[in-house]
Amino acid sequence: MANQKLEYAASAAISITLANLASDTNLLAGRESSEVSNTSDKYSDFLIAGKITTGTSPTTGRNIEVWAAGLAEDSTYPDVLDGTDSDETISGPGTKGATLKLVASIATVNTSDKTYWFGPVSLAALFGGVVPKKWVIFVVHNTGVNLNSTGSNHAIWYTPVYSTLT
């Protein structure tokens, strides 16, 4: 009798430019990643993890939020999202809460250039057990200052997960 086992493909970086990302008091203006497509590999899950570094003199008690969004239908993302690494402003908190899935909410302190790690988080779990065929990450923060200006101080990765029979 065959045994089903989880396997992990190689992790990959998500294309998202977080260096100097401006703070937004309303947590609506942030940065969207390039889309990740699951149309050919058809992985059963993706583990999302990463690191984000604050800038100089951030405000204590603020947040960095990492969200995921999937296609609303075959080729349309919700609201202003479009599948490209770009600045975006979600149209309102109701829209954000109804169309995006929270990957991580990271409370910050007033330490300059502090790196905050998150994950790994199951993407399938965020979407009720099923991975969208294409998806993006959206990052927003209200730390009161721009994020750290060095690109390599920020990264978000995904690790594909699939099953095999042995």
Q: In the chain, what are the domain boundaries?
A: 13-165
The whole-chain average pLDDT of the chain stands at 97
pLDDT band at 2 (very low <50, low <70, confident <90, very high): confident
* Residue 81 amino acid letter: L
Lookup result for tokens 């920020």:
154
The predicted-structure confidence for 6-61, as pLDDT tens digits, reads as follows 999 999 999 999 999 999 999 999 999 999 999 999 999 999 999 999 999 999 99
Q: What is the pTM of this model?
A: 0.96
The DSSP element (H or E) to which 24 belongs, if any, is none
pLDDT of residue 1: 74
Q: What is the CATH class of 13-165?
A: mainly beta
Quickly count: other Cβ atoms within 10 Å of residue 51's Cβ: 16
Q: CA–CA distance from 89 to each of 64, 82, 86, 106, 125 (Å)?
A: 15, 12, 10, 20, 25
